[in-house]
Amino acid sequence: MAHSDSGVAAEGVPDSRPPTNKGLLVLAGILLAIPIVALCWVSTYARETPRLGGVPFFFWYQFLWVFITAGLTYAAHRIVLAARRPGAGTTGHAPSGDGEDVR
């Protein structure tokens, strides 16, 4: 079944996907890609100095990214929720065949 951006499937059946803001979904994807790129670019942190409490930079930098990644993942989650929020005048539920909203 082919879908279009109009919210109606090709056969005239209403599309049950929630309306989405594609720009916000792209932003969420970028937030999720930041830690991947940062940690795959090993040459930026493959050294021992500066040390933090005697721990080489290589280790504490990666450990710091655990917390940064958690924050970015949470932010991406909230952005995706906002991107899928139903617009004004909608309930967010798929309509039934008789015109009433299904709850």
Q: How confident is the model at residue 14 (pLDDT cuts 50, 70, 90)?
A: low
The answer to whether 58 touches 45, Cβ cutoff 8 Å, is yes
Judge residue 79's burial from the number of C-beta atoms within 10 Å of its C-beta, 0-12 exposed, 13-18 middle, 19 or more buried.
Answer: buried
The pTM score is: 0.68
8 within domain boundaries? no
Q: How many domains does the chain have?
A: 1
40 within domain boundaries? yes
Taken in order 51, 55, 60, 62, is the CA torsion positive or negative?
A: positive
3 within domain boundaries? no
Q: How confident is the model at residue 20 (pLDDT cuts 50, 70, 90)?
A: confident
78 within domain boundaries? yes
Residue 52 sits in which domain range? 22-83
28 within domain boundaries? yes
pLDDT of residue 97: 58
